[in-house]
Amino acid sequence: MTLTRIEQPVAQSAASTATAITSLLPHLENTEQSYREVASAQPPKAMFNLGSYQWKNRLLLVFAPTENSPDYQQQMQLLQKQAAGLNDRHLLVIELLKEGKSRINNQIIDESAVAQLRNRFNISSEEFSVILVGKDGTQKRRDKSPVAPDIIFKQIDAMPMRRQEMQQRRS
């Protein structure tokens, strides 16, 4: 089969395009693999430092053996219904688990930081506990069973710093 002058450039162009596509295939496969690696990668672990929240946030530390702990599940369900109240009071919930992923604001916390917090607050790894830490960095409340957010909110609302915050908001 003989190609005419018009057909020759088209055939050469088609051959060049096929060669270009063939040369890109390994790169596309690598890109797809890279996307899979990124998608399956663990999120970075946060280096947790209690002091970095002082004077900015109140903290609610929720200690539990696992996410399957009935007390933990009950506490988290109670808190999920009160997101506006948590935000209004600058209250961050920190999930601290013996097994599973410990988190603050959906960011994973390093296991060594979890161990340090358990040690600092004298919480065994098999124990459920809820601890409220004020903006001044001191423990304000400790519960060994799930606690209703309204109870925590009433205690926070009675604190001098919180009353000052509410007064400033009104003016």
pLDDT 10s digits, 26-54: 665 555 554 455 444 555 565 678 899 99
Rounded to 5°, angle at Cα 26 from 21 and 28: 75
Going by C-alpha positions, the residue among 76, 82, 81 that lies closest to residue 96 is 76
* pLDDT given for residue 19 in this prediction: 67
Mean pLDDT of all residues belonging to the chain: 85
pLDDT value at residue 133: 98
Q: What angle do CA 88, 92, 97 make, to 5 degrees?
A: 155
- The per-residue pLDDT for 38 is 43
Name, in order, each residue with C-beta under 8 angstroms of 90's C-beta and a sequence gap of 6 or more.
56, 57, 58, 135, 165
Structure confidence by residue, pLDDT tens digits, 51-99: 999 999 999 999 999 999 999 999 999 999 999 999 999 999 999 999 9
Instruction: Give the tens place of pLDDT for each residue, 96-123.
Output: 999 999 999 889 999 999 999 999 999 9
